[in-house]
Structure 1
């Protein structure tokens, strides 16, 4: 991170102007695009659920040329975001019709020249604007550029998008004060502009912004389009001044195309077919009223009739002409979009790991040693030390209780924290994986390695306090053995939490499942219930706690050790019923079993994450 900060300082007074022109102009052409999904009808009370097919896009046609900016308008549920996602190459499932880019299908090379800005700004809140863009540049820009040049690119984008004033401010979120909503949106756009995209897709870039900020955003996008880029965006009720910044407009209603053409000709077209506002109003508001089938100035026509009339009018007046225009450009193929690069990734695995690790540590350093967590652990440690104060082997049952408490407390805490890891990261992972930014393996290793300080330091502090206060064997060897066993236990419990979180991806459901699982592991581990019924006894072999408890007992006692007892004065530890049941043998097998659990749970977590961003595995 120090290296990055030095690089930033050396470039902050040097902003070369880049991205004046798109690298490879792209013509987007789509014809008769149909998209269907299957939905299940029927609830819990119904005996049979019926699978129905719903058509989201119903034969949408159009084209956008380099230097043009297209606005996709339509009410909620009209299919505009689905169309944008389909054109951006990110829509799974079966799409019929034709979508081409310079006459060719979507490819890996085109993906590297495509920027996609989602409606929600998926950003790390504790990183500054500069850090956000620099880390993105280091991950997305190819190795033909040095790290110094990548940082220079990031600084140039900051200047180009007017973010210089806030470049050292944290991005923030709805719960953390940071830059403004408009600045946050420009940071999202800046992340995509780093690759100097030929194609830029934006989903509701002005959503939630005031009119002045929205106008600045769209004005910036218009300048980008003027550089030869093809810009497509969905937008909700733009003002008149914003509406006329667009070159073309596409109007959808329930998946049907009502208009596609130049913005300047849109009002004349609807007036020609008999629909014009009776009062002066925002053109986009009027178009949305038409798409909803609502004519506020004339309530005599039913909504369904208006919509059907507009669909028929488009087919009669515009459809044939539009398809003729498509055929004129269908043979045109521009250079620059061949799959020249044989490699799928722009950076090496180690580069990706290194940047992701540094970014993760930078983002999560505020929570690595969260004050509340540290205070909680310290309070429990001192309280435990006082409760088991100098118990010694004379009170062997109490010592066994302390050892079992180790496994219980440090089973739940890391597991519950790990459960939240991937559900919280899901949107970021999906966004970055969809753009082909890094391998899943580099992300997974960097994420889990970066969490080790939080996972290992606090248990170490906890054992250091309670071990000596609790009167356990006062030798360095026994202490280190106990600590090693507990740290292995913590890592396995964390792995279980990661697996459950990645499998379910819902924090509430995952927490419930994780809690129930660990409770069962605790109950069958040999401390609470010492004689299990045969039909459930097998479950103890799946219990993390059972193996950890056995190892913790082995770290303190040997079968030949003695303790004071009422019958003969001294008794063998190995003959104590509660220890004999668990056993002091099989220590190596327990270590190997826990190690296998650690690897297995993490493998399950990794496999579960592969379903995120499937288009870029």
Structure 2
């Protein structure tokens, strides 16, 4: 059996690029990329140390073919189908364009083909092997219409992270670095490789460059199939043509390219090998793009010699009664008749010689083995998240300033007491000498601490994941581990939480001079930051990005108020609702704060009376700290499945 190599497609991609680079004109980007690499007279392999260059050209992968039969899709509760009766075949080394009017089902089709939507009817096959949605996702690289790229990272950092995750199981960092450098040059991004991608608020790359980075994120995983949803959307005519020419080169290297095209110019239309036309969820035409004009002329439509054939076809589609003609389309019939059945091929794909069956499940297993281990992905996501944190200068400084101001404000509220927040009844026989007791001030300070930290930590907790849900979804569908991403992201923000809690604690302790030690005050403050960030993750999973900060702020304030100060925890217990207060972290922070500020006076006052009045128990600060840690972790455990079930949609 011939060994299957998943790297051969990209090997051919870069060898093709190197041949074109040395056989014709060079662009400015090409010339700049040669600086420091040696003389242009050297062999291409010497100029470009591609990590898969050891792969023999004769050991290329068998040509892949994806076929689909009677594919349909309907939204639950809707009477009509979004798509129905689609048939066709997509081959490696070709580019398939999907066209149709708005609302015709183009994006729905590529979502089904890429395995992003499992609510389908019909069947998909890979060389005769029936594919499930999860298997399609592992085989296909999907580029969405919007450019979902982390703005705080440079072009190279974004591509290198994707390559490390998807290929790190078989390649080390030096080889991956060379691979990404080759990919950057092939995409024409060498000039901007060290520039941050940027966002709408802080512009970095141009629209065309962002689109190329988005494509590069998928090519970094060396996919067998590349699907793009309207890749030319938002680009000018020149940038759109340049991008499609790049996709043409990708397809000629053995990668199957399928893209949704909306109103292409004539030069772009000429780059398509095959064409699929949709109208109202029905398949109108499937066949060679060059024969589409002849097909419509046979139906009686005229094409001006001065017009763009694609424009004329787009004008025809909404105006014709396709329901009567679609069943007789020869292209659709041929696509349907050539659709293989799983039993015919016995769930195998044939090699190029046709005599050595290759198990498709082995291909899929090989794809899985190329990915970095789960622990490695956690580390990569942690490192990437840390880089993001260091570059979010404005938001980081704002959080530090907020924590400092809150610490100063609360510290000033009891500055004049010089730390004497508690006064109780003396031990016998000195009860009669006791002055007025003050049991509430310690609890009130605990309440203020909860509310203040909630204001400082809640919105950043939402921002932690709320602004990146779409990016998380894209990476998960590409093959990145969701749990590794979620864990790595949460770990990367711990230092930020610690610095915010350190500033709050420092200013508060200097001004209020409580009897609690600095270390314990810092510990409970940090753990409450940890809890509020976790609560922010839950809110981010179930709300829209624009609503998240307000919902989180209200949730944090309500939960923080349930700390046992007002109403007193002792009173709450008489209502048989103590269990409800114990669910929230504010109760445990207040109890720890109360214990540490009253314990030094145990020699003087009767602390049991104060405990009965407040409802807090004495002497279990360690238990309180442990529960704060547990609740903050539990919030994240709850947030993760919510992101999977809700937040990733």
Tell me the TM-score range normalised by the shorter chain.
0.7 to 0.9
Q: Which moved more, 1:154-163 or 1:283-292?
A: 283-292
- State the shift of 1:123 in Å: 0.4
1:198-217 matched pairs, under 5 angstroms: 198-217=224-243
The residue that corresponds to 2:71 in the other structure is 33
The residue that corresponds to 1:521 in the other structure is 559
The residue that corresponds to 1:351 in the other structure is 376
The residue that corresponds to 1:266 in the other structure is 292
* 2:468 alignment partner, SS class: helix
* 1:231 alignment partner, SS class: strand
- State the shift of 1:556 in Å: 1.3
The residue that corresponds to 2:536 in the other structure is 497
* 2:272 alignment partner, SS class: coil
Alignment check: 8 A CA contact 1:257 1:314 kept: no
Report the number of matched residues: 569
Alignment check: 8 A CA contact 1:352 1:443 kept: yes
For the structure 1 residues 165 and 612, does the alpha-carbon distance in structure 2 shift closer, same or farther, using more than 3 Å as the test? farther
For the structure 1 residues 472 and 98, does the alpha-carbon distance in structure 2 shift closer, same or farther, using more than 3 Å as the test? closer
Alignment check: 8 A CA contact 2:469 2:648 kept: no
Structure 1, unpaired ranges of 5+: 1-8, 40-51, 294-305, 564-570
1:172-251 matched pairs, under 5 angstroms: 172-251=198-277
The residue that corresponds to 2:350 in the other structure is 334
- Alignment of 1:58 with 2:72, yes or no, is no
- Alignment of 1:70 with 2:96, yes or no, is yes
Alignment check: 8 A CA contact 1:414 1:494 kept: yes
- State the shift of 1:348 in Å: 1.3
Distance 1:598 1:12 in 2: 51
* 1:127 alignment partner, SS class: coil
Alignment check: 8 A CA contact 1:113 1:195 kept: no
- State the shift of 1:417 in Å: 1.9
- State the shift of 1:110 in Å: 6.5
1:60-459 matched pairs, under 5 angstroms: 60-93=86-119, 95-106=120-131, 111-277=137-303, 280-293=306-319, 306-308=320-322, 311-312=324-325, 315-326=328-339, 333-335=349-351, 338-340=360-362, 341=365, 344-345=368-369, 346-367=371-392, 370-394=396-420, 396=422, 400-437=443-480, 439-459=481-501
Alignment check: 8 A CA contact 2:455 2:557 kept: no
Distance 1:613 1:392 in 2: 48
Could you report, residue by residue, the CA deviation over 1:173-204 in whole angstroms, capped at 9, with x for unpaired residues? Answer: 22221111111111111122223332111111
Distance 2:340 2:534 in 1: 56
- State the shift of 1:456 in Å: 1.4
* 2:645 alignment partner, SS class: coil
Could you report, residue by residue, the CA deviation over 1:559-580 in whole angstroms, capped at 9, with x for unpaired residues? Answer: 84489xxxxxxx6565458964
Distance 2:529 2:382 in 1: 21
- State the shift of 1:583 in Å: 4.5
For the structure 1 residues 232 and 10, does the alpha-carbon distance in structure 2 shift closer, same or farther, using more than 3 Å as the test? closer
TM-score (norm 2): 0.80
- State the shift of 1:388 in Å: 2.7
The residue that corresponds to 2:7 in the other structure is none
Distance 1:11 1:606 in 2: 46
For the structure 1 residues 556 and 11, does the alpha-carbon distance in structure 2 shift closer, same or farther, using more than 3 Å as the test? farther
Correspondence for 1:483 among 512, 522, 525 = 522
Alignment check: 8 A CA contact 2:442 2:594 kept: no
The residue that corresponds to 2:591 in the other structure is 550
Correspondence for 2:582 among 541, 547, 562 = 541
Could you report, residue by residue, the CA deviation over 1:530-551 in whole angstroms, capped at 9, with x for unpaired residues? Answer: 3447275553222321221111
- State the shift of 1:603 in Å: 1.4
Alignment check: 8 A CA contact 2:470 2:648 kept: no
Q: Which moved more, 1:358-367 or 1:370-379?
A: 370-379
Distance 1:611 1:471 in 2: 47
The residue that corresponds to 1:594 in the other structure is 628
* 1:169 alignment partner, SS class: coil
For the structure 1 residues 600 and 10, does the alpha-carbon distance in structure 2 shift closer, same or farther, using more than 3 Å as the test? farther
The residue that corresponds to 1:6 in the other structure is none
- State the shift of 1:127 in Å: 0.8
Could you report, residue by residue, the CA deviation over 1:86-126 in whole angstroms, capped at 9, with x for unpaired residues? Answer: 22222211x22232121112377765543211111110001
For the structure 1 residues 543 and 195, does the alpha-carbon distance in structure 2 shift closer, same or farther, using more than 3 Å as the test? closer
* 1:173 alignment partner, SS class: coil
* 1:86 alignment partner, SS class: helix
* 2:499 alignment partner, SS class: helix
For the structure 1 residues 136 and 216, does the alpha-carbon distance in structure 2 shift closer, same or farther, using more than 3 Å as the test? same
TM-score (norm 1): 0.84
- State the shift of 1:467 in Å: 0.8
For the structure 1 residues 279 and 536, does the alpha-carbon distance in structure 2 shift closer, same or farther, using more than 3 Å as the test? farther
The residue that corresponds to 2:26 in the other structure is none
Alignment check: 8 A CA contact 1:434 1:613 kept: no
For the structure 1 residues 190 and 393, does the alpha-carbon distance in structure 2 shift closer, same or farther, using more than 3 Å as the test? closer
Alignment check: 8 A CA contact 1:88 1:116 kept: yes
For the structure 1 residues 559 and 192, does the alpha-carbon distance in structure 2 shift closer, same or farther, using more than 3 Å as the test? closer
Distance 1:472 1:247 in 2: 76
* 2:517 alignment partner, SS class: helix
For the structure 1 residues 456 and 24, does the alpha-carbon distance in structure 2 shift closer, same or farther, using more than 3 Å as the test? farther
Distance 2:338 2:534 in 1: 57
- State the shift of 1:319 in Å: 3.5
* 1:409 alignment partner, SS class: helix
For the structure 1 residues 255 and 580, does the alpha-carbon distance in structure 2 shift closer, same or farther, using more than 3 Å as the test? closer
For the structure 1 residues 136 and 343, does the alpha-carbon distance in structure 2 shift closer, same or farther, using more than 3 Å as the test? closer
Alignment check: 8 A CA contact 1:521 1:542 kept: no
For the structure 1 residues 534 and 67, does the alpha-carbon distance in structure 2 shift closer, same or farther, using more than 3 Å as the test? same
Structure 2, unpaired ranges of 5+: 1-32, 38-46, 352-357, 423-439
